[in-house]
Each structure stands twice: as structure tokens, then as C-alpha cells.
Amino acid sequence: MTENSSIKQPEPLTKAFFKDYLMLSKLRLSASVVGTTMIAYVLGVDKLGLTFSWTTLIALTVGGMFVVASSNGFNQIIEKETDKLMSRTQNRPIADGRMLVNDALVFSIVIGILGLLILAFFVNGRVAFLSLVSLFLYVLAYTPLKKNTPFAVFVGALPGAFPPAIGWIGASGNIDTIAILLFVIQFFWQFPHFWAIAWILEDDYRKAGYTLLPSYEGRTKKNAFQTILYSLMLIFMSMYPLTMDPPFASLYSLFVILPCGLFMLFRAYKLYQSLSVADGKKLMFASLIYMPAVLLSYLL
């Protein structure tokens, strides 16, 4: 029996066919990642007194989603064997055998190049370059490291921190102090957010040999304490724009940053107390609210 004879292929151009490519792209994840890019672009236009451009915003959104979708496709190609081992991922099209690796590879290459070209021609070269760096870090550094060390989360936080910086650079055209600051804020946000997800999925990750909590010990108070520590650092970094000269954010921003930050810190503390999956989910949802709320607060 040849390798191809065991492949379960849907009929071309059916609903199942398109659904598999959407699964390969992780459309909802791609959209959520690009959301902070869109907010940061609007923030840049507002703070710099620039003219809002729908063309630029749409290009940032579409181009960014294509690059993220490409990254997700490459990730599933590389992890096709480990995806078979986890309940959460075993129905993915490559892992389940519904999609050929070569088909996924062509799709990921084409959509990645298309996304980068959209960003380069309709936004600017710096945005396209940083998106390319982000793709390489995610696919060639984070993905292979996941199975070898918990440090992979720190590496993965680098491409994960690019979206708001890219949005700002889409408006300003420059990698300036604010772009770096937005990158740093999202970088610190990655840790309580992703460790909350890793906490929820720890048992499933173990099936594939992944350990994505801060240490190999699993759901322990030591690992839960890291979410408290990084939540604290995130709050301080989020308030730093108020101390700049001239201030990048107004005092009104505190009415958003402090409640959101303290709520996230509270959820991290509750996780430390209970070590439960339920509190891990609550921390994850708190983190999802935090970043867009804080970015929008800088507009006040």
C-alpha cells in the first residue's frame, strides 16, 4: 500500500475542503493576533497626528493574517506527528490524514509570500521585514524548541510581541521608542497568557512530550508564582508611558490599566492558591481582555 492510498481526501471545493484550510490557518487565532496590530495602527495615527488610511489598515490586517496563517501552516507541518498524540490537535487536517503535507507546504509558502508582499507594497518595508523575522522565529526557533525545553516559551514570546509594534510602525514608518515600548509590553503579557493556556492543556501537552510551563514540575505553586511575577511586571510596563516626557498616555489611562492589571493579578493569585485548571481558564480570559483594553486606554 502506498503512502498516498491511506490519505483521506475531501472532494475539491467542498465545504470540508475549505474548512481544512481554515483549520490549517487557525483563522480565529490569526484574527486575534492581528487585532492588536489594528489598534496600534489607530494609536499611531492618533498620537502622531497622521491621516488615517483605510488602505494601510486593510493591508496590515490582511497581510498580517496571511503571514500568521502561514506560520500556523508551517507549524502543523512540522508537528504533524505530535499533533496525532494530543486530543486538542489530532483532528487537524495533516495529523488526521485529510491533507497532504505537500499541499499544506505550498499553501503556507504562497500565502506567506503574498502576505509579505501586501505589507511591503501597501504599508512599508520595515513592517514586512519584521513580519518575516516573526515568521522565522516562530517556525524555525519556537516550534522545534517546544519539545526540548520550557525556555521555548521565552523564544515564542518574541514573535508573539511583534503585532502591536508592527501596527505602530505601519503608521509611523519608523522603529522608534514607542514601537519598542509596545513590543516590550506585549512581550511581558505573553507569559501569564501563555502559561495560563499551558496550565489548562498540561495533560494534553504531556502526551506529546511538551513541557511549556516554566519548569518540568507541572502544575505547582512554583510555576503558578511565575504568573504572578510576570503579571506584576506587565502592570509596571503598561504604566511606564505615563512617566515619559512628554507623557505618551494620560492619567485617564490608569482608570483602565489599574483595574485590568489588578484583576489579572488577582486571577494569577487565585491560580497560585488553588492550582486548578478552572482558575487557569479564568486567568487566560483575563489576559485576553488586558492587552486590547490597555492599548485602547492610551487613546484617552
User: Is 275 strand, coil or helix?
Assistant: coil
Long-range Cβ pairs for the range 86-93 (8 Å, 24+): 86/204, 86/205, 86/207, 86/208, 87/204, 87/207, 88/201, 88/204, 92/23, 92/24, 93/20, 93/21, 93/23, 93/24
Query: 138 with 151, same domain?
Result: yes
**Would you say 235 and 261 are in contact if contact means Cβ atoms under 8 Å apart?**
yes
Give yes or no: residues 117 and 230 share one domain.
no
| 125, 164: one domain | yes
The span from the CA of 25 to the CA of 74, in Å, is 9
Q: Do residues 296 and 197 share a domain?
A: yes
Nearest-10 crossing angle of helices 27-48, 54-78: 150
Give residue 9's pLDDT. Answer: 56
Q: Give residue 247's pLDDT.
A: 87
Tell which of 174, 207, 226 closes a domain. 174
Same domain, yes or no, for 170 and 183? no
On whether both 47 and 90 belong to a single domain, the answer is: yes
Residue 281 has pLDDT above 50, yes or no: yes
On whether residue 234 sits in a domain, the answer given is yes
In which band, very low, low, confident or very high, does the pLDDT at 27 lie, cut at 50, 70 and 90? confident
Looking up cell 471545493 gives 13
Same-domain check for residues 290 and 225? yes
Q: How far apart are CA 132 and CA 105, in angstroms?
A: 17
Q: Is the pLDDT of residue 11 over 80?
A: no
Residue 7: pLDDT over 70: no
Same domain membership, residue 138 and residue 248: no
Task: Output the domain CATH number for residue 57.
Answer: 1.10.357.140
Residue 5 within a domain: no
| Residue in the structure block whose three cell numbers are 494609536 | 43
Cβ–Cβ under 8 Å, residues 94 and 77:
yes
Domain match, 51 and 158 both: yes
Classify residue 20: in a domain, yes or no.
Answer: yes
143 and 78 in one domain? yes
pLDDT tier for residue 8 given thresholds of 50, 70 and 90: low
DSSP character for 245? S
Looking at the structure, do residues 111 and 237 belong to the same domain, yes or no? no
Task: Please tell me whether residues 102 and 198 are part of one structural domain.
Answer: no
**215-251 confidence digits (pLDDT tens):** 889 999 999 999 999 999 999 999 999 999 888 999 9
Q: Residue 51 is part of which domain span? A: 10-174
Does residue 2 lie within any of the structural domains? no
Residue 4 lies in a domain: no
